[in-house]
Amino acid sequence: MENFTRRQALRAGALGLMSAGFLSWTTEAGAASTIETTYKATGPWQVATGTSGGHRLYYPQNLGSGGVTHPIVTWGNGSWATPDNYPGLLNHLASWGFAVVASTDTTTGTGAEILAAAQHLVGLGGDPASVFHGKLDTTQVAAVGHSQGAGGSINAANHSAGLIKTVVPIAVPAQWMASPGDEFSVTALTCPVLFLSGADDWLISSAGTVQGYYDQATAGAGRALLKGAGHNDIQNSGGGFLGYVTAWLKYRLQGDLQARGAFAGSAPELPTNTAWQNQALKNLT
């Protein structure tokens, strides 16, 4: 992504220049469905933050309470962004019991930084000197990322040797925007994937782009575009993306039956939620 049509286009999106407007909270609130509303609310865990090995950490303050072990979420930033651009989502996931590790790198397209962060937190789970010792479910790891980091999350999964069990690419860019080394293959994914984007993200992660990736996915997939949202609505508070990102991770990493109802079963919620468009689900049980 060394010219405008690549890396600078993503930078423009990261700065909000491609966003066509603001999410209408009134419209969204009126259209939101039960499962989305449940997981959009702050979860039951108090959140602690910290740093380790150059990574940012967001995790339940009372780790392991009641014998719980916490699934891991590794995060990939968009171009020129850092975890400080995503406080809403990262803290929200921790409030729902996930141990979140976020690369501080501003270029995460290769996925190497995202995978290294996951491996670092897995290592802390086995370190007797760490607060995470024995408190993590290191068999249940997800990669989530935005824009360049969305492609990076796919790369991280493809190179994780099975460590990463599911992926949520948010506003994943078209392949023509990928710099050498950042190219990613959806067809190579062996884990389920949920593609989310904004309906107003017409340049970087358009409906056609998301449709194309969804069609390539073979191991179970979902897709949806949030109405009124642009390329950067996942930043800051996380806005309308929080509910289904959280529900997907609860479903895929913890087998949460209520969360599963958004994506699988006889009448999943996502396709009927009028706050979203271009919804589709396949091969999910």
pLDDT > 90? residue 160? yes
Domain CATH code at residue 136 = 3.40.50.1820
Residue-wise pLDDT for 207-221, tens only, equals 999 999 999 999 999
Number of domains in the chain: 1
* pLDDT value, residue 181: 81
| 226 contacts 254 by C-beta, under 8 angstroms | no
Give me the chain's average pLDDT, please. 90
Sign of CA dihedral 12, 18, 217, 138: positive
Is residue 129 classed exposed, middle or buried when 0-12, 13-18 and 19+ CB atoms within 10 A define those classes?
exposed
Identify the domain containing residue 230 by its residue range. 4-282
Cα distances from 61 to residues 50, 95, 144, 218, 270, in angstroms, run 11, 9, 22, 37, 31
Residue-wise pLDDT for 60-103, tens only, equals 999 999 999 999 999 999 999 999 999 999 999 999 999 999 99
Residue-wise pLDDT for 227-253, tens only, equals 999 999 999 999 999 999 999 999 999
Q: What is the mean pLDDT of residues 194-204?
A: 96
Q: Of 227, 277, 258, 255, which Cα lies nearest the Cα of 39?
A: 258
Percent of the chain with pLDDT over 90: 85
Q: Of 205, 194, 210, 195, which Cα lies nearest the Cα of 249?
A: 194
Residue-wise pLDDT for 11-62, tens only, equals 444 433 333 332 333 234 434 589 999 999 999 999 999 999 999 999 999 9
Residue-wise pLDDT for 174-186, tens only, equals 988 777 788 999 9
Q: Of 193, 100, 211, which Cα lies nearest the Cα of 154?
A: 193
